[in-house]
Amino acid sequence: MPMYNLLFRTNGVLEPTNVQLQVNGTSASSLQVQARTMGTPPGPWTGVSNAAFTSQNGQSTPNNPADGDTLTLPAQVLTVTNITGKGTFTQNGDGSNGPGYYTDRGPEEEEGDWCAAAG
């Protein structure tokens, strides 16, 4: 079950939020996304509805994503609002953050203001 920290771009800069995502599934149709607030102690895991995963090569899964896969999130995940666009998975991250789904990568470039990056 890959875990990601949700970051949101404000004034052109990706800033961390207090939301952590867990993305799992053995196929796009079995996708389960859960979210919790980070802290001491962290909040309970809560299901995120209306998320979607697309495999670029037809072989990858939410449990084992590959470059080019996409993740779509709903407009609000816990305390983070105004989420738009698809995040495109990149194993190399963006230079500052680790592997994850970035809205400024891939064909959807500049479409959204968030990323979900491995801590």
pLDDT tens digit sequence for 28-61:
999 999 999 999 999 999 999 999 999 999 999 9
Cβ distance 118 to 7 under 8 Å?
Answer: no
Q: Rounded distance, CA 35 to CA 68, Å?
A: 23
What does the pLDDT look like over 65-81, one tens digit per residue?
999 999 999 999 999 99
SS3 106: helix
Strand pairing category for 32-37 and 13-24: antiparallel
Q: Rounded distance, CA 75 to CA 2, Å?
A: 21
Q: Where are the domains of the chain?
A: 3-117
The mean-pLDDT minimum among 3-17, 54-68, 104-118 falls in 104-118
